[in-house]
Structure 1
């Protein structure tokens, strides 16, 4: 007998909750903001909308299903099961934060603040939750398979991301490394920079697009479901020992970019989740490419 689906509702602390955690009471938080010419009222209203959205989504879960709830800060400790239907209630970025921990489970994005969020990944409203949950649990349910990027280190550590993976120094120092196509003879070009960014078509609406515009790149940005990545080196420094000939490129399915560390430490993290990163040291290498896993976003 197969298990009933489990709805896993993913959320994050609201700005109001973060203010209360810092200042203790509503009154203290209100005074802190008012002394800086701001009001707590809109923050509290957004908190109320989010709480109501979570209640509405929880009420939409079929009675025969199991259910669970996980906060963003606990995602790296939560065990998702194959039969889960994941419901992300919040902003677009929360879907990206969740994606790296999934292995093909369908994801429903619920926008808690329409008009404030772009709604690229949280495409639906609370009123649609019941129908979306049924559709997600139905064989052949309609989803978009969004391309993801992965980093695989030479010690088998692996990192997934939906938007982008960043490789660079942990602080404001310069990262030193060698960069080149995976499988190329030699170790690639020696470089010194503030890091390397490898992004997907979903990430083309954020950090990747910013670098693309800054460079005036003529390469078309990938679409979210397209099996193509773009990569950029940030602020590469030319010197007698370091070059700048390999500062941008694209990767298709089966192609890889390899970075070999030549400084004390380089961190590798995805979608802004610095707390869950790979830590590489002198001599280690990492391969960047299209992941076998996709994010299955319910449409």
Structure 2
């Protein structure tokens, strides 16, 4: 029996083909551009068809259980999720991450629409699993993993959450200027920006930073150097790590505070010295940023709530 007092929020994304049609106006024009450059247009068509068929199948199954609201990822930042909603994200890992940061204790089910195409670390379920999984979640009979989120709060009241990571720096490829403050230590820096990583993001940007530092150290020292975080960095870890990218030491800037830990009693403060183009964004979504220019101070901390990912 369908329960119309409950609602599923089904979050979808545009396929590669849909994004290209939006850019070039027609499917025929997209086909010409892809094939003219030596690409396989058929692959775009197959992916698009499979994704839309999966969405239709999942929508039909959800509608048998409760009401369904379909949301495009472009609009989730402006959508108010009800407290009792159950959220289903159908897409790649990035869609799950970008959805989690707009939720407040609503459970999220990640569905891999094309397991042959996508690895889906955050997408444990296949389309055929959905009917069983959503019924178990609906009846509170399914377990979940807690995901620690990072939070950036400005002195003007603006804030932003990060599921994988938060970037603080310049919008363009020029040096960011700022002052770091932690544990009563201040340091003026010039760098390519600061990355704040969560446990969930430890296999992403954070991992690549450690790999790069390891290879550079190996090349400079002439012996193999392997770097890793000093303790296990789980998805629900009650701490974050910050790393400074390409710090530049000079008469006015230093490079001693380039890696550190943020926890519940030890936040990181950053004062912007950038007259323009300073930004803070999360999870690789550069378009969804808050300005971080001279006069702004950001406090980087652990978010008050955790994301809930159904497993």
- Structure 2 runs not aligned, ≥5 long: 215-226
What SS does the corresponding residue of 1:292 show, helix, strand or coil? coil
Residue 100 of structure 2 is matched in structure 1 by 99
Give me the whole-angstrom Cα distance separating, in 2, the residues matched to 1:140 and 1:156: 38
Residue 231 of structure 1 is matched in structure 2 by 242
TM-score, scaled relative to structure 2:
0.90
Q: Post-superposition shift, 1:22?
A: 2.5
Per the alignment, do residues 208 and 275 of structure 1 end up closer, same or farther by CA in structure 2, a change over 3 Å counting?
same
Per the alignment, do residues 30 and 133 of structure 1 end up closer, same or farther by CA in structure 2, a change over 3 Å counting?
same
Q: Count matched residues.
A: 295
Give me the whole-angstrom Cα distance separating, in 2, the residues matched to 1:152 and 1:27: 46
Give me the whole-angstrom Cα distance separating, in 2, the residues matched to 1:12 and 1:249: 35
Paired residues for 1:153-168 under 5 Å: 153-168=154-169
Residue 222 of structure 2 is matched in structure 1 by none
- Alignment of 1:274 with 2:277, yes or no, is no
Greater than 3 Å deviation, 4+ residue runs: none
Give me the whole-angstrom Cα distance separating, in 2, the residues matched to 1:273 and 1:77: 15
- Alignment of 1:258 with 2:258, yes or no, is no
TM-score, scaled relative to structure 1:
0.93
Range 89-98 or range 209-218, more displaced: 209-218
Paired residues for 1:175-214 under 5 Å: 175-181=176-182, 184-185=183-184, 188-214=186-212
Alignment partner of 1:243 out of 243, 254, 277: 254
Deviations 1:162-198 (A, max 9, x none): 10000001112211111121xx446x10000110000
Residue 304 of structure 2 is matched in structure 1 by 292
What SS does the corresponding residue of 1:34 show, helix, strand or coil? helix
Aligned-residue RMSD, C-alpha: 1.7
Q: Post-superposition shift, 1:113?
A: 1.6
- Alignment of 1:66 with 2:67, yes or no, is yes
What SS does the corresponding residue of 2:44 show, helix, strand or coil? helix
Residue 218 of structure 2 is matched in structure 1 by none
Per the alignment, do residues 253 and 137 of structure 1 end up closer, same or farther by CA in structure 2, a change over 3 Å counting?
farther
Paired residues for 1:81-160 under 5 Å: 81-139=82-140, 141-160=142-161
Q: Post-superposition shift, 1:65?
A: 1.2
Deviations 1:254-297 (A, max 9, x none): 32111111121321111122222121221321111211221100
- Structure 1 runs not aligned, ≥5 long: none
